[in-house]
Amino acid sequence: MTRPTSYQKKRDFSKTPEPPSGGREGKNPIFVVQRHDASHLHYDFRLEVDGTLKSWAVPKGFPKTTKDKRLAVMTEDHPLAYARFEGRIPEGEYGAGTVKITDHGTYENLKETKMATSLRQGHIEVHLLGEKYRGGYALIRMEGKKWLLIKMKKQK
Ligand code: MN
Protein backbone atom coordinates (compact mmCIF):
# COMPACT_ATOMS: atom_id res chain seq x y z
CA MET A 1 0.00 0.00 0.00
CA THR A 2 1.18 3.48 -0.75
CA ARG A 3 1.48 5.96 2.11
CA PRO A 4 -1.52 8.30 2.48
CA THR A 5 -0.92 11.79 1.15
CA SER A 6 -1.45 14.82 3.37
CA TYR A 7 -4.66 15.37 1.38
CA GLN A 8 -5.89 11.90 2.37
CA LYS A 9 -4.79 12.22 5.99
CA LYS A 10 -6.91 15.34 6.46
CA ARG A 11 -10.11 13.67 5.25
CA ASP A 12 -12.51 10.87 6.19
CA PHE A 13 -13.76 9.54 2.87
CA SER A 14 -16.64 7.70 4.53
CA LYS A 15 -18.00 11.16 5.41
CA THR A 16 -16.91 13.57 2.69
CA PRO A 17 -18.02 13.32 -0.95
CA GLU A 18 -14.56 14.53 -2.09
CA PRO A 19 -12.54 12.12 -4.27
CA PRO A 20 -9.86 10.13 -2.35
CA SER A 21 -7.57 9.99 -5.39
CA GLY A 22 -7.59 9.55 -9.13
CA GLY A 23 -8.10 11.65 -12.21
CA ARG A 24 -6.52 11.36 -15.60
CA GLU A 25 -3.91 13.52 -17.24
CA GLY A 26 -4.95 15.06 -20.52
CA LYS A 27 -2.89 16.51 -23.31
CA ASN A 28 -2.71 19.99 -21.81
CA PRO A 29 -2.35 20.73 -18.11
CA ILE A 30 -5.49 22.06 -16.47
CA PHE A 31 -6.36 24.68 -13.91
CA VAL A 32 -9.46 25.10 -11.81
CA VAL A 33 -10.81 27.81 -9.54
CA GLN A 34 -13.26 26.61 -6.90
CA ARG A 35 -15.34 28.89 -4.71
CA HIS A 36 -15.18 27.35 -1.27
CA ASP A 37 -17.69 28.66 1.21
CA ALA A 38 -16.01 27.21 4.30
CA SER A 39 -15.55 28.86 7.72
CA HIS A 40 -13.96 31.65 5.69
CA LEU A 41 -15.02 32.12 2.09
CA HIS A 42 -12.08 31.71 -0.28
CA TYR A 43 -11.25 30.65 -3.79
CA ASP A 44 -9.06 27.61 -4.36
CA PHE A 45 -6.75 27.98 -7.34
CA ARG A 46 -5.29 24.70 -8.57
CA LEU A 47 -2.76 24.01 -11.31
CA GLU A 48 -1.94 20.57 -12.67
CA VAL A 49 1.78 19.94 -12.28
CA ASP A 50 3.30 16.47 -12.77
CA GLY A 51 0.08 14.55 -12.16
CA THR A 52 -1.21 16.42 -9.13
CA LEU A 53 -3.06 19.67 -8.44
CA LYS A 54 -0.83 22.28 -6.83
CA SER A 55 -3.21 24.36 -4.73
CA TRP A 56 -3.54 27.83 -3.23
CA ALA A 57 -6.36 29.32 -1.16
CA VAL A 58 -7.04 32.88 -2.29
CA PRO A 59 -9.17 34.64 0.36
CA LYS A 60 -10.07 37.64 -1.78
CA GLY A 61 -10.34 35.85 -5.11
CA PHE A 62 -8.61 36.58 -8.38
CA PRO A 63 -7.02 39.98 -9.05
CA LYS A 64 -9.12 42.06 -11.42
CA THR A 65 -6.42 44.50 -12.52
CA THR A 66 -2.64 44.37 -12.87
CA LYS A 67 -2.42 46.59 -9.76
CA ASP A 68 -4.18 44.07 -7.48
CA LYS A 69 -1.97 41.71 -5.53
CA ARG A 70 -3.88 38.91 -3.88
CA LEU A 71 -2.62 36.77 -1.02
CA ALA A 72 -2.58 33.10 -2.02
CA VAL A 73 -1.81 30.56 0.69
CA MET A 74 -0.39 27.29 -0.57
CA THR A 75 -2.34 24.25 0.60
CA GLU A 76 -1.83 20.51 0.22
CA ASP A 77 -1.68 18.91 -3.24
CA HIS A 78 -5.06 17.63 -4.41
CA PRO A 79 -5.69 14.66 -6.72
CA LEU A 80 -6.45 15.50 -10.36
CA ALA A 81 -10.01 14.23 -9.88
CA TYR A 82 -10.63 17.16 -7.54
CA ALA A 83 -10.75 19.52 -10.51
CA ARG A 84 -14.27 18.22 -11.25
CA PHE A 85 -15.46 18.24 -7.66
CA GLU A 86 -18.45 20.29 -6.62
CA GLY A 87 -20.55 19.58 -3.58
CA ARG A 88 -21.02 19.91 0.10
CA ILE A 89 -18.40 18.84 2.62
CA PRO A 90 -20.34 17.93 5.80
CA GLU A 91 -20.14 19.85 9.08
CA GLY A 92 -17.28 18.70 11.25
CA GLU A 93 -15.18 17.50 8.29
CA TYR A 94 -12.04 19.23 7.02
CA GLY A 95 -13.05 22.21 4.86
CA ALA A 96 -16.76 21.87 5.74
CA GLY A 97 -18.92 23.92 3.41
CA THR A 98 -19.84 24.08 -0.26
CA VAL A 99 -17.46 23.90 -3.20
CA LYS A 100 -18.47 25.26 -6.58
CA ILE A 101 -16.36 25.51 -9.72
CA THR A 102 -15.86 29.12 -10.79
CA ASP A 103 -13.74 28.33 -13.82
CA HIS A 104 -11.99 25.40 -15.39
CA GLY A 105 -9.64 25.25 -18.36
CA THR A 106 -6.12 24.55 -19.51
CA TYR A 107 -3.02 26.65 -19.04
CA GLU A 108 0.36 27.24 -20.63
CA ASN A 109 3.60 27.70 -18.72
CA LEU A 110 4.99 31.10 -19.77
CA LYS A 111 8.47 30.41 -18.42
CA GLU A 112 11.31 28.47 -19.97
CA THR A 113 11.80 26.51 -16.76
CA LYS A 114 9.62 23.53 -15.91
CA MET A 115 6.67 24.16 -13.60
CA ALA A 116 8.23 22.03 -10.85
CA THR A 117 11.37 24.19 -11.00
CA SER A 118 9.35 27.41 -11.00
CA LEU A 119 7.48 26.13 -7.95
CA ARG A 120 10.75 25.49 -6.13
CA GLN A 121 12.02 28.90 -7.15
CA GLY A 122 8.80 30.51 -5.96
CA HIS A 123 7.99 32.21 -9.24
CA ILE A 124 5.31 30.88 -11.59
CA GLU A 125 3.96 32.52 -14.72
CA VAL A 126 1.05 30.92 -16.53
CA HIS A 127 -1.36 31.82 -19.29
CA LEU A 128 -4.84 30.66 -18.28
CA LEU A 129 -7.24 29.53 -20.96
CA GLY A 130 -10.51 29.46 -19.08
CA GLU A 131 -13.87 31.05 -19.74
CA LYS A 132 -13.68 33.61 -16.96
CA TYR A 133 -9.95 33.79 -16.51
CA ARG A 134 -7.86 34.23 -19.64
CA GLY A 135 -4.40 35.67 -19.81
CA GLY A 136 -1.23 35.86 -17.80
CA TYR A 137 -1.09 35.37 -14.05
CA ALA A 138 1.96 35.14 -11.83
CA LEU A 139 2.38 33.52 -8.45
CA ILE A 140 5.29 34.84 -6.40
CA ARG A 141 6.33 33.30 -3.10
CA MET A 142 6.80 35.74 -0.25
CA GLU A 143 7.53 33.55 2.77
CA GLY A 144 6.61 30.04 3.81
CA LYS A 145 3.24 29.18 2.33
CA LYS A 146 2.36 32.77 1.50
CA TRP A 147 2.39 33.68 -2.17
CA LEU A 148 1.03 36.63 -4.13
CA LEU A 149 -1.27 36.15 -7.12
CA ILE A 150 -0.82 38.88 -9.71
CA LYS A 151 -2.49 39.56 -13.02
CA MET A 152 0.29 40.13 -15.55
CA LYS A 153 0.56 42.98 -18.00
CA LYS A 154 2.67 40.83 -20.27
CA GLN A 155 0.57 38.57 -22.43
CA LYS A 156 1.59 35.85 -24.84
MN1 MN B 1 -10.55 25.39 0.21
H/E stretch holding 109:
strand 97-109
Burial 101-115 (b: 16+ CB within 10 A, else e): ebbbbebebbeeeeb
pLDDT at 27: 87
Distance in Å, CA 6 to ligand 1 centroid: 14
Expressed in angstroms, the distance from the first to the final Cα of the chain is 44
Instruction: Give the Å distance between the CA of 151 and the centre of ligand 1.
Output: 21
Model pLDDT, residue 31:
98
The parts of the chain modelled with pLDDT lower than 70 are 1, 154-156
pLDDT for res 26: 83
Residues with CB under 5 A from ligand 1 (ion): 36, 44
Using an 8 Å Cβ cutoff, are 130 and 114 in contact? no
Cα→Cα distances 38→14, 35, 51, 127, Å? 20, 9, 26, 28
CA 10 to ligand 1 centroid distance, Å? 12
Helices (H), the chain: 6-9, 115-121
Cβ proximity of 83 and 106 under 8 Å: no
Distance, in Å, from the CA atom of 102 to the CA atom of 104, rounded to the nearest integer, reads: 7
| pTM for the model | 0.94
Distance 25 CA to ligand 1 centre (A): 22
Q: Helix, strand, or coil here: 119?
A: helix
Give me ligand 1 centre to Cα 113, in Å.
28
pLDDT for the residue numbered 25 = 83
Candidates 32, 17, 4, 3; CA nearest to 94 is 17
